[in-house]
Amino acid sequence: MTNVTTTVTKESRVLAALQAGSKGLTAAQMTSRFGVANPTATITNLRQKGFAIYANRLTNKGGETRTFYRLGTPSRSLVAAGYRARAAARLYGITV
């Protein structure tokens, strides 16, 4: 019998929560729910892996501003900018 262990990373748990379609996650929620020490770095890593994660800032009546991260669909202009950046990198010999 083979014993298979699946490692679920904090990053994958954050991604699963974003994919679940909630209104979004704050940095504090990522830290408390998933134990993410640096939520900004986690979001950056997911973006670099190709996930379109948007930051929406909301201010409540008390004047407190919070940033909610949500998973979305990239616009055509964003996809086009990505292709232009990759083409420029190839032109100048930069490894992406």
Q: Is residue 5 part of a domain?
A: no
Q: Give a yes or no: residue 84 inside a domain.
A: yes
Angle at 7 between CA 2 and CA 13, to 5 degrees: 145
Most confident region among 5-9, 85-89, 91-95 by mean pLDDT: 85-89
pLDDT value of position 7: 61
Whether 62 is in a domain gets the answer yes
Question: Number of folded domains in the chain?
Answer: 1
What percentage of the chain's residues is helix, strand, coil (to nearest 5)? 45, 15, 40
Compute the CA torsion angle 31, 34, 38, 39 (nearest 10 deg).
Answer: -80
Structural domain span for residue 58: 10-91
Q: Is residue 25 part of a domain?
A: yes
Q: What is the pLDDT of residues 29-76, one digit of tens each?
A: 999 999 999 999 999 999 989 899 999 999 999 999 999 999 998 889
